[in-house]
């Protein structure tokens, strides 16, 4: 389990308890940003904003305190020989891009072909949140979910597709609303077997719009 844990928790999350700023220091940083934006942190509407922002960060980035392997540690082998695809569609997630700390909001489709065991579907949703509630890029998050599930279950294959809107693109910069980014990671049979790939994509509504994007 120790090996799996080190593989699932990226090196970029290596902030120790000793090096982590205090809550008071974090709130002071928010005060500085409010002043830099041109407002007065002492006015009535902003007096409690630093505390609120830090509390929001506690929730938005709670994934740093979660080991994804723990969500996948309990599996079930009494499945009466079931060996067909397991798919969890439309798992909504909220993340933040690491470049602008702007929201990434979308949905994840996760599937696997069981080999010896299966896992509770709520654990798949918790796996998504464990990686989403960190500073992210969508490509890395897609790969993290797929490889974590593959490492834990050792299934015949894993498929993960993410569709998301990036507010760093819709609310700033190029200001292109209505744009959705699609990423995928296919492992095992989902990559090697065209029929398995087609079945998975058909089941989730084929958001990739063609197999060429999957190679």
Instruction: Give CA–CA dist 111/186, Å, rounded.
Output: 10
| CB of 63 closer than 8 Å to CB of 133 | yes
Choose the catalytic residue: 71, 96, 109, 166: 166
Q: What is the pLDDT of residue 100?
A: 96
- Is 3 an annotated catalytic residue? no
- Is 99 an annotated catalytic residue? yes
Of 102, 174, 170, 186, the residue nearest 136 (C-alpha): 102
Instruction: Give CA–CA dist 7/71, Å, rounded.
Output: 14
Q: What is the pLDDT of residue 2?
A: 35
Please give the mean pLDDT across all residues of the chain: 89
Average pLDDT estimate for 37-59: 97
Choose the catalytic residue: 24, 25, 99, 115: 99
List, for residues 86-142, the tens digit of each pLDDT value: 999 999 999 999 999 999 999 999 999 999 889 999 999 999 999 999 999 999 999
- Is 213 an annotated catalytic residue? no
Residue scoring higher pLDDT (176 or 208): 176
pTM higher than 0.85, yes or no? yes
Average pLDDT estimate for 158-166: 97
Architecture of domain 69-214: 2-Layer Sandwich (3.30)
Architecture of domain 2-60: Orthogonal Bundle (1.10)
Per domain, the residue ranges of the chain are 2-60, 69-214
| Minimum mean pLDDT range among 18-32, 63-77, 144-158 | 63-77
- Is 71 an annotated catalytic residue? no
Range 33-69 burial, b when 16+ CB lie within 10 A, else e: ebeeeeeebeeeebeebbeebbeeeeebeebeebebb
Q: Count Cα neighbours of 12 within 13 Å in the Cβ-side half-sphere.
A: 8
Predicted confidence band of residue 19 (pLDDT cuts 50, 70, 90)? confident
Residue scoring higher pLDDT (214 or 133): 133
Q: Does position 147 have pLDDT exceeding 70, yes or no?
A: yes
Choose the catalytic residue: 97, 136, 144, 163: 97
Q: What is the pLDDT of residue 10?
A: 45
Instruction: Give CA–CA dist 187/19, Å, rounded.
Output: 37
| CB of 191 closer than 8 Å to CB of 197 | yes
Q: What is the pLDDT of residue 109?
A: 98
With residue 150 as reference, give the H or E element that holds it. Answer: helix 138-153
* Helix 23-37 and helix 49-60, axial crossing angle in degrees, nearest 10: 120
């Amino acid at each position: 389990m120790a090996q799996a844990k080190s593989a699932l928790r990226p090196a970029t999350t290596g902030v120790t308890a000793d090096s982590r700023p205090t809550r008071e220091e974090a709130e002071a940083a928010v005060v500085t940003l409010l002043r830099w934006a041109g407002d007065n942190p002492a006015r009535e509407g902003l007096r409690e904003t630093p505390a609120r922002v830090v509390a929001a960060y506690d929730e938005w980035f709670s994934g740093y305190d979660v080991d994804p392997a723990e969500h996948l540690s309990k599996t079930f082998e009494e499945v009466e020989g079931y060996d067909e695809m397991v798919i969890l569609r439309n798992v909504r997630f909220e993340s933040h891009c690491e470049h602008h700390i702007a929201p990434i909001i979308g949905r994840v489709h996760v599937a696997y072909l069981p080999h010896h065991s299966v896992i509770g579907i709520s654990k798949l949703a918790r796996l998504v949140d464990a990686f989403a509630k960190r500073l992210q890029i969508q490509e890395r998050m897609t790969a993290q979910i797929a490889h974590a599930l593959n490492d834990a279950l050792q299934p015949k294959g894993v498929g993960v597709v993410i569709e998301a809107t990036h507010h760093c693109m819709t609310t700033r910069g190029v200001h292109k609303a209505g744009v959705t980014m699609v990423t995928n990671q296919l492992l095992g049979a989902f990559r090697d077997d065209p029929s398995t790939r087609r079945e998975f994509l058909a089941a989730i509504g084929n958001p990739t719009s063609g197999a060429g994007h999957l190679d």
